Amino acid sequence: MTVHEYPARRRRVWWLRNRRYLAFQLREAGGVVCALYGLILLNMLIQLRDGESAYAAFLNLLRTPPMLYLNVVLFALVLWHALTWFMLIGKAQPIQFTREPLPWKVVFGINVLLWIGVSGAVVYLIFGGM
Amino acid sequence: MADSEVVFRVSRYRPESGGRPTFQEYRIPYRSDMVVLDGLNYIKDHLDPTLTFRWSCRMGICGSCGADVNGRPRLTCGTYIRDMRKGAVTVEPLSNFPILKDLVVDFDDFLDKLASVRPYIVRKDWGDLSKEYTQYPEDVDAYRQQSLCINCMLCYAACPVFGASPEFVGPAASALALRYIRDTRDDGAAERLARLNTKTGIWECTFVGECSVVCPKEVDPAAAIQTLKFLATTRHMRRLLMPGSASR
Ligand code: SF4
Ligand code: FES
C-alpha cells in the first residue's frame, strides 16, 4: 500500500491570522518605506544640484495633495517601524545591566525618551539659529 | 455529568487515498472541566476509532499533543474547551509540518535540526567521572528558562519564517542550543555557534515573536535567538580583533 504524506504548507495570508502577525508585516513594510524615504531625499539632493527651478518644482510636487497623503502613510509606517523595534529591544536583552532583566516597557520608555531627545537636538541644530 | 454538547471540527487526512485534508464534524457531550484532548479521546472511544492523534502524559510534559486549535498552535491537553470562543472547536494538525495522518505530523526534520545543535553537554575532556561537577544556583538560573522546553514544536507551527524556509533551524533548536551554551559544564559553544551562525541558522529569524507567544513553557525562544545573534556577533568580532581569544 502506498502511503502519501501531505506536504507541509504555510497558510495563505498567514499574516491576517492574528494582530501580532499583522503588526509584524506592517513593521517589515515600514522597513521598505524607510528605504523609499531615503530615495526621496536622495532625489531631493539631485534636484538641488540641478538648480533652483528644478528644486522648487520638486518641492511643489511634494506639496500636492496626493504626495502629502502618501507622505502621511509613509510617515506612519516609519513611526510604526521605529516604535515596534523599540518595543522589541526590551524583549531581547542580550546585555543585562541589572541582575534581573528590566521589564520591556521600561526599556521601551527609555528608548523613546532618548529618541525624542536626539530628534529634538537634531531639529535644534538645523532650525535653532533661525 | 454532561450538561450540553460541543461541536468538534477535526481535520482528517487519509494517507492511503491522498487528496487534501477535509473536515469532519463530531458532536460530543460537554463538561466545563474538559480539555480539547478529552474531546478527541471521546471521539476516538465512542464515535470514530479511526481518528488519529498523538498524546501521552495529559499534563503538559511530554509535548506530543500539539495541534492547531481554532487556528492557534496549542497543547490539546492544556486547552480548556470553555476557554475557546463560543461555537465549534476546530482542530487541525500543526501548521508548517507534513501530515502523516489526521492530526499526526512528521517531525523527522525537527529531530534532525535538534541533533544538529548537539542538545547535550559536550566536553573537551571528561576527566575524572567520579568527581562532581558543581553548579551554583545562579549557574542553573542562567539556563533554567531554556531547559524547560518540552519539544512540542508549537513554536515551529507559529513561525512564518519556518513556514516559508523549512531549512531554518527554528526556535526550539536555537533555544536548546543556548541552554547548553550557557551551561558552565559545557565546552560545545563553538560547534553550536558554527551551525547557528549561518543563513539557515539564527540569521533567518526576523523576530516575528509568535514562537514565544505560543510556547506553553515560557521558554521565550525568540529572545534566545536574539541572544545567540549577539553571542555569534561578539564572538566573530573577538576573533577578528583578538585572534586566539577564549571560546565562550
Ligand atoms: S520552545 Fe516552547 S513551543 Fe517551542 S518546542 Fe520548546 S516548549 Fe514547545
Ligand atoms: S499529552 Fe503530554 S503534553 Fe499534552
Q: B235 and B114: one domain?
A: yes
Class for the domain spanning A1-77: mainly alpha
- Residue B247 located in a structural domain: no
Beta strands in chain B (DSSP E): 4-12, 22-30, 66-69, 72-75, 89-92, 99-101, 104-105
Residue A118: C-alpha distances to residues A34, A41, A96, B29, B44 (Å):
18, 20, 23, 62, 63
All cell numbers assigned to B183 = 551551561
Cβ(A33)–Cβ(A78) under 8 Å?
A: yes
Over residues B50-91, the pLDDT tens digits come to 999 999 999 999 999 999 999 999 999 999 999 987 778 999
What's the structural domain count of chain B?
Answer: 2
Cβ(A92)–Cβ(B207) under 8 Å?
A: yes
Q: Which of residues 4-63 of B touch A (CB under 8 A)?
A: 13, 15-16, 18, 20-21
DSSP category for residue A6: B
B173 Cβ below 6 A of ligand 1: no
What confidence category does residue B176 fall into, taking pLDDT thresholds of 50, 70 and 90?
Answer: very high
- Residue B47 located in a structural domain: yes
- Residue B246 located in a structural domain: no
Please tell me the predicted confidence (pLDDT) of residue B2: 54
Q: In this structure, what CATH number is given to the domain that contains residue B193? A: 1.10.1060.10
Q: What angle do CA B65, B69, B74 make, to 5 degrees?
A: 50
Count the alpha carbons within 13 Å of B81 in the hemisphere toward its beta carbon.
24
All cell numbers assigned to B176 = 536548546
Amino acid at B31: R
Q: Which residues of B touch A22 (CB under 8 A)?
A: none
Amino acid at B66: G
Q: B100 and B122: one domain?
A: no
What number does the ligand 1 atom closest to the CA of B150 have?
Answer: 7
Q: In this structure, what CATH number is given to the domain that contains residue B86? A: 3.10.20.30
SS3 state at B149: coil
pLDDT at A10 over 60: yes
All cell numbers assigned to B17 = 487515498
Q: In a mutagenesis test of the A interface, which of B22, B153, B207, B228 is the best target, namely the one with the most A β-carbons within 10 Å? A: B207
Interface contact B97, partner A, CB < 8 A: yes
Ligand nearest to the CA of B219: 1
What confidence category does residue B126 fall into, taking pLDDT thresholds of 50, 70 and 90?
Answer: confident
Stated pTM of the model:
0.91
Q: B27 and B91: one domain?
A: yes
Q: In a mutagenesis test of the B interface, which of A1, A2, A6 is the best target, namely the one with the most B β-carbons within 10 Å? A: A6
Domain holding B209, by residue range, is 108-241
Average pLDDT over residues B173-192: 96
B221 Cβ below 6 A of ligand 1: yes
What number does the ligand 2 atom closest to the CA of B58 have?
Answer: 1
- Residue B93 located in a structural domain: yes
Residues B171 and B144: their CA atoms lie apart, in Å, by 16
Please tell me the predicted confidence (pLDDT) of residue B248: 47
pLDDT at B100 over 90: yes
Please tell me the predicted confidence (pLDDT) of residue A129: 63
How many other CB atoms are found less than 10 A from the CB of residue A42?
10
Of A5, A88, A94, the CB nearest to B100: A5
SS3 state at A40: helix
pLDDT at B1 over 60: no
Q: B124 and B81: one domain?
A: no
Q: Which of A62-71, A117-126, B124-133, B154-163 has the lowest mean pLDDT?
A: B124-133
Average pLDDT over residues A95-99: 67
pLDDT at A98 over 50: yes
Over residues B228-241, the pLDDT tens digits come to 999 999 988 988 89
Q: Quick check: B163 and A94 CB within 8 A?
A: no
Q: What string of DSSP letters covers A57-104?
A: HHHHHHHSHHHHHHHHHHHHHHHHHHHHHHHHHHHS-SS-SSSSPPPH
Over residues B21-41, the pLDDT tens digits come to 999 999 999 999 999 999 999
